[in-house]
Structure 1
Amino acid sequence: MHTDAIAFAGYGTPDVLEPTAIDVPDPGPGQVRIRVHATTVNPLDLKLRSGAMAAFMPLNLPYVPGLELAGNVEASGPDVRHLAPGTAVFGAASHTYAGFALADAHRLAPIPQGMDYPHAAALPVAAEAAWRALEELDVDAGQILLIHGAAGGVGTLAVQFALARGARVIGTASATGIAHLTALGAAATTYGTGLAERVRALAPSGVDKVLDTSGADVLHDSIELAGNPDDVLTLADPMAAQAHGVRFSSGGGAGDRTADALAAVSTLHDNATLTQRIHQVLPLSQAARAHRIAEAGHLDGKIILAP
């Protein structure tokens, strides 16, 4: 079958994103075909389109971006029993800037009751990264977790996951993000000079674990606060991680925690404790505009594209 999509045939500015038609094959073993009702703009979409990742992730052009979706199962592979046609689902997938997309069934979950498509689509990538980081750090009840970039999409979910585990959370953010963090139940302080001293004022004995989602040159202070580079993990800065001897987590392959992350956000939603923010919802036809908005920065949530 064919579906309308947005693709780029060459690297460049957002203007290389253009409408196209693509083939969507029937789902194979372990797969489902999804009618996409919402997808999102992620930082990786911007890097792939611009060519910034071309040396590391060469693409077959033309390329349809997209990493996550929410929609309805339209057809299931021969061995998929738990996601019947018509089921509203959300999860991780590739090439989601389209009316239909294929996805691995194990990276999808039913959308929780009462959650709409845009909010569901905004969750999978950020939730997987946040959940994976907490698992790799082995964050547990009673520990103090410091999260850099805590007001961002990944940080906001990491705060909520950690609090649900019984950890105490200290988040760093810009001045405009402090109220958001305190509303979530975290202690909060701002970035910049004197960061370590401000964190020590909140945790005089230091912290147990540190998660960096910001890439804002915070690893030296983080090691000092945690006392051990093994207790520091970054999702944002692989080069600095190597230089400081801390862990970097990029996910993918056997490290993918999508299924667990979707279950965790569903639990938060069902307990009425899930908080998330959406910056803007745009039609898929305005993907180029969405990329320009994302590149300008200062977002207070995900940009949603609705096919």
Structure 2
Amino acid sequence: MRAVRFSAYGPPSVVEVAEVPPPHAGAGEIRIAVRTSAISPGEIRLRSGELRDVVPVRFPFRTGFDAAGVVDEIGAGVSGVSGLSLGDPVFGMAPAATRGANADFAVLAAWAPKPPAWSWAEAGGAAGAVETATRVLDRLAVRAGQTVLIHGAAGGTGSVAVQFATARGARVIGTASAANHDFLRALGAEPTTYGPGLVDRVWALAPSGVDAVFDCAGGALPDLVALAGAPSVVTIADFGAAAHGVHMSHGAPNTPGADPLALHGLPVAVTLASEGRLRIPVAATFPLAEVAAAHELSESRHARGKIVLQH
């Protein structure tokens, strides 16, 4: 089968599509014939070598965390519990330790039924953003009546976090470039721009202050701490978090500070999608063979929503 991998740190050109043996579902897992899978911003940073001292990798490194497709193999202990059948359309996440979802066949460790309202592109980009949004909003204990600032709200994770936070009854202020403000309004957020003057702009929108900050973009922790206080800020993007007393949330296994994965967010996403309250913004789709171009777009950090590979 075809699978995406890289065998050295470097620019997008080091990513290749190679022929590899297909995986098989182990106990508690399923295998899907992949229709779509997502590009992970974290893996962009892995591939570049930026995280070589934080998250060690073994080459060749197989990429891909999110995927959607049809079930074609069911591991021991699954069917009797979930009622899952061969041919069912699902979306989900590959095991964090092995990944490998950017491939013709992928093993999933967590999954949920594909909502009929979602396209295959939306489903392929959903699971990781849903899990991350749930994990961070849970840690921040976001609930109805609160005001939440989401920094980098137009990206793949931020746009999902906006919808999850509003579904909890929170008021959401989101940062993005001016070109994305109408997009944020459509998701239910009140937009403002990032950069110098952020603290004053947020105070103007929320004179009583914000209760929590979800940082999806990085680069603004002093301002975010000034707005909410370090204990009320969680970042997924800024590796300087500790110097500011801020928690950096990640689910990478066997690494310091990893948080438990919030897999309970997947069925919540299905419910919200069925109610018309959750869409997965897709910035662009690429054929699997053009994965290097997809990495280039992700690296630009100008994508509004998820970048998805079509298989």
Q: Could you tell me the TM-score, scaled by structure 2's length?
A: 0.90
Q: 1:188 to 1:6 in 2, by over 3 A?
A: closer
Contact 1:40 1:69 in 2 (8 A): yes
Q: Using the TM superposition, name which of 70-79 and 257-266 deviates more.
A: 257-266
Structure 2 match to 1:248: 248
**1:138 aligned onto 2:136:** no
* Cα separation, 1, equivalents of 2:18 and 2:151: 39
1:282 aligns with one of 277, 281, 286 = 286
Contact 2:37–2:308 (8 Å) recurs in 1: yes
The alignment partner of 1:171 has SS state of strand
Q: CA RMSD in A?
A: 1.8
**Aligned-partner Cα distance in 1 for 2:13–2:219:** 29
Name the SS of the counterpart of 1:7 in structure 2.
strand
Residue deviations 1:220-275 (CA, integer Å, cap 9, x gap)? 2223322x321121111131x21111222112457343422212221221111223
After superposition, the Cα gap between the structure-2 partners of 1:21 and 1:152, relative to the gap in structure 1 and judged at 3 Å, is: same
Task: Please tell me whether residue 43 in structure 1 is matched to residue 41 in structure 2.
Answer: yes
Q: Secondary structure at the match of 1:255?
A: coil
Output the CA distance in 2 between the equivalents of 1:244 and 1:7: 35
Q: Percent identity among equivalent residues?
A: 43
Aligned to 1:96, which of 82, 101, 107? 101
Shift of 1:153: 1.6
8 Å contact 1:91–1:258 — kept in the other structure?
no
Counterparts of 1:252 and 1:49, CA distance in 2: 15
Q: Which residue pairs with 2:227 in the alignment?
A: 225
1:41-83 superposed Cα distances (whole Å, 9 cap, x missing partner) = 1212222223333333333322221111001111111211122
Question: Does the C-alpha gap of structure 1 residues 109 and 197 become closer, same or farther in structure 2, counting only changes over 3 Å?
Answer: same
Which residue number corresponds to residue 204 of structure 2? 201
Bigger CA drift: 208-217 or 247-256? 247-256
Looking at structure 2, the residues matched to 263 and 173 of structure 1 have their Cα atoms a distance apart, in angstroms, of 28
Shift of 1:304: 1.2
Of 4, 7, 11, which residue of structure 2 is paired with 1:6?
4
Match of 1:179 in 2: 182
Of residues 285, 304, 307, the one that matches 2:308 is 304
AA paired with 1:287? V
CA deviations over 1:141-177 (Å, ceiling 9, x no partner): 1111111111222111111111111111111211112
Kindly tell me the number of residue pairs found equivalent between the two proteins. Answer: 300
Match of 1:124 in 2: 127
Cα deviation code 1:177-233 (max 9, x no counterpart):
21112222222211122211111111111111111111022x22223322x321121
CA distance in 2, matches of 1:224, 1:168: 19
The answer to which of 276-285 and 15-24 deviates more is 15-24
Segments of structure 1 that go 5 or more residues without pairing to the other structure are none
Check the 8 A contact 1:24/1:102 in 2, yes or no: no
SS of aligned partner of 1:33: strand
Q: Evaluate the alpha carbon distance shift between residue 58 and residue 281 of structure 1 in structure 2; reply closer, same or farther with a 3 A threshold.
A: same
What is the CA–CA distance in structure 2 between the aligned matches of 1:117 and 1:306, rounded to whole Å? 9
Q: Does the 8 Å CA contact 1:229/1:245 hold for their aligned counterparts?
A: yes
The residue type equivalent to 1:223 in the other structure is V
Q: Secondary structure at the match of 1:207?
A: coil
Aligned equivalent of 1:31: 29
The one of 272, 280, 284 equivalent to 1:268 is: 272
Question: Secondary structure, in 3 states, of the residue corresponding to 2:106?
Answer: strand
C-alpha separation in 2, matches of 1:19 and 1:151: 29
Q: C-alpha displacement at 1:293, in angstroms?
A: 2.4
Counterpart residue type for residue 12 of structure 2: P
CA distance in 2, matches of 1:60, 1:220: 35
Unmatched 5+ stretches in structure 2 = none
